[in-house]
A and B are shown apart, each in its own frame.
Chain A
Amino acid sequence: MNASPDTLPLLRVTQAVKQFVLRRTLGDRVARRPGVLHTAVDHVSFELGSGEVLGLAGGSGSGKTTLARMLIRLVEPDDGQIMFGDSDVRAASGHALREIRRQMQMVFQDPYSSLNPRMRIGAAIFEAGKVHHQPGVDDEAAFVARVLDLVRLPASAARRFPQELSGGQRQRVAIARALAVGPKVLIADEAVSALDVSIQTQLLNLFLDLRDELGLSIIFVAHQLSVIAEVADRVAIMHEGKIVEIGPTAEVFHRPQHDYTRSLLAAHPSHTAPTPRGGSV
Chain B
Amino acid sequence: MGEVMAADKARKETIGAVRRTFAPWKDPTQTPLIRFENVVKRFGDFTAVNNVSLDIYEREFFALLGPSGCGKTTLMRMLAGFEEPSSGRLTLAGEDLAGVPPYRRPVNMMFQSYALFPHMNVADNIAFGLKQDKMPKADIDARVEEMLTLVKLEKFAKRKPHQLSGGQRQRVALARSLAKRPKVLLLDEPLGALDKKLREETQFELMDLQMDLGMTFLIVTHDQEEAMTVADRIAVMNHGVLVQVDPPAEIYEQPATRYIADFIGEVNLIESTVTACEGEITRLTSEITTSPLTVAHPCEVAAGGNACIAIRPEKLRISLDPPPEGSENVFAGEIWDIGYLGDLNIYHVELACGQRLKVSQPNLSRRVARPISWDDKVWVTFDPDAGVLLTR
Q: Do A and B come from one complex?
A: no
